[in-house]
Amino acid sequence: MTSEQKRPVVLIIRDGWGNNPYPEYQESNAVHLANTPVDDWMRENYPHITIHTSGEDVGLPAGVIGNSEVGHQNIGAGRIVNQELLRISNMIRSGEFAQNEVLLQAISHVKNSGTNLHLMGLASDAGVHSSLEHLYGLLRLAKEHGIKKDQVLVHNFSDGRDCQPDLGIKFCEEIEAKLEEIGVGKIASVIGRFYAMDRDDRWERVEIAYRLLTEGSDSYVNKAAMAYREYYDNPDDDNRRGDEFIRPTVVLGDDGKPLPRISDGDSVIFYNFRGDRPRELTKAFCLETFPYDGEGKDGVTRLMGFKRNCKLSVNFITMTEYEQGMPVDAAIKKPPKMANTLGSYVSDAGLTQFRCAETEKFPHVTFFFNDYRDEPYEGEDRQIIASPREVTTYDQKPEMSAPEVTQEMLKRIESEKYDLIVLNYANGDMVGHTGSLSAAIKAVEAVDTGVGKIVKAVLDKGGSLVVTADHGNCEQMIDPETGGIHTAHTTYDVDLIVVDESYKGQELRSGGRLADIAPTVLNLLGLPQPSEMTGVSLI
């Protein structure tokens, strides 16, 4: 950093804070309805634009919503990163998927041993964690290799978070139709992602999913779709409505008996491609020692897991590599590490950096931002702030841990130790997912308050900020087609504001995307842009 450049440069990611361009939707726009004096002041006094966060602009198929993993990876990379969703879909279409040795070995094992093949994952077309196209690719592969119809069991993890909360029954019916068309497989279980895809060390939830998959449940249905319908009509409580919370349910076969559970000798393929949410359930199946001593997201080592009894002897396959060092075979390997991401480049330049977020988004500003790297770079400090655990859904505490994140940030800014600071406010996304408009408004206001304190502290130090988001969510809380609640991300653009006294009155480049944020940050840091970064500074 040259002597003329200011420090620190702070990147604030207001997760899930999008820009809804439609006036007719403002009555369901938490960003519009909230009292946001800081955001209003920044937009009035500093250059700002909107940037793209979905589809081909972030390495996803056209029209597919962005998400936090994709968003943070693109931001940290400074280039468009082709995502697992697109990579795997292209492999299926090219025929490469059908030649995958790991998948073929799992199927061959079932064929030779007469055991069962279990396909489990998020049954949703949102494209955030999984793809039904990938499930269908696995079903066709099993059929092509002679696996019998009743040897393939599909376990639906219902969504309701990255899509409308009651679309699960539609996806279930689509899957059942595809099973009939391909001629192999039956849906054997249904359970909400609230249980099967926890990422916050809430092992009591994961245990419920594990028991369903391996032992069963006292809730039975004759047809998988009935599990959805019965839960829609009789949710566990008012705070747990929709597909996300569907209780563990076993599907009965034509003989009236429960369809098979995962047992010794079976092959299991977890077809989610995104790694953060399948990890806990995967560890329950695959770790030799379980429960185990592990470091929580708060940095404290404690006993993780639940009493599993004996480890099942199963051939467990994950679609991608969920975590380094996990003792499982991954069908699709990660691409080579990218050179000169923002974190590595700043470190190699001899500068210091700090990353901060609460539990729900801490992996995003570290692991995903650093291209799936767990270890900090030289000169990179991190601080996780615990997300509230006293509530089951964040509409019950819409401020979440934003005040604590803000206080940690103010302390770090005051230290004058860091050249680059990256933080994430989780509220707009996590509260937006609950579908509560009133809570989302409070969430936006909590973030705005925190941002205001940080902006003042940074400007007092002569620093500069980039204030933006990874994707939208809380700016659309009512589905315009159904009139029901909207809990998913959006494809809307997000705001980007450059808060720097020297750029007042200037205009930013239009047509930007998330990949352009890192070059913009380097511009503010006074560092040249490496050739590997193909994004373009917005300044």
418-475 pLDDT, tens digit per residue, is 999 999 999 999 999 999 999 999 999 999 999 999 999 999 999 999 999 999 999 9
Cβ-count burial 177-207 (b if 16+ within 10 Å, e if not)? ebbeebebbbbbbbbbbbbbbbbebebebbb
502 catalytic? Reply is: no
Nearest by Cα to 462 from 499, 429, 505, 430: 499
What is the rounded average pLDDT of the residues 371-375?
Answer: 93
**Is cis: bond before 23, omega within 30 of 0?**
no
Q: Are 11 and 466 in contact (CB under 8 A)?
A: yes
> Tell me, what's the pLDDT at 418?
97
Measured in Å, how far apart are the chain's first and last C-alpha atoms? Answer: 18
9-81+338-525 has which fold? Alkaline Phosphatase, subunit A (3.40.720)
Chain-centroid distance, C-alpha 81: 16
What is the rounded average pLDDT of the residues 196-200?
Answer: 95
> Tell me, what's the pLDDT at 69?
95
> Tell me, what's the pLDDT at 10?
99
Whether residue 298 has pLDDT greater than 90: no
Q: Quickly list DSSP for 509-525.
A: PSS-BGGGHHHHHHHHH
> Tell me, what's the pLDDT at 1?
46
pTM (2 decimals)? 0.87
> Tell me, what's the pLDDT at 4?
43
How far lies 241's CA from each of 169, 217, 228, 232, 360, in Å?
14, 20, 11, 7, 21
**Most distant CA pair in the chain, distance:** 78
Whether residue 5 has pLDDT greater than 90: no
Q: Which CATH number is associated with domain 103-332?
A: 3.40.1450.10
**pLDDT band at residue 107 using 50, 70 and 90 as cut-offs:** very high
The residues spanned by each domain of the chain are 9-81+338-525, 103-332
Nearest by Cα to 126 from 169, 174, 162: 162
Whether residue 165 has pLDDT greater than 70: yes
> Tell me, what's the pLDDT at 3?
41
Residue of 68, 131, 344, 387 marked catalytic: 68
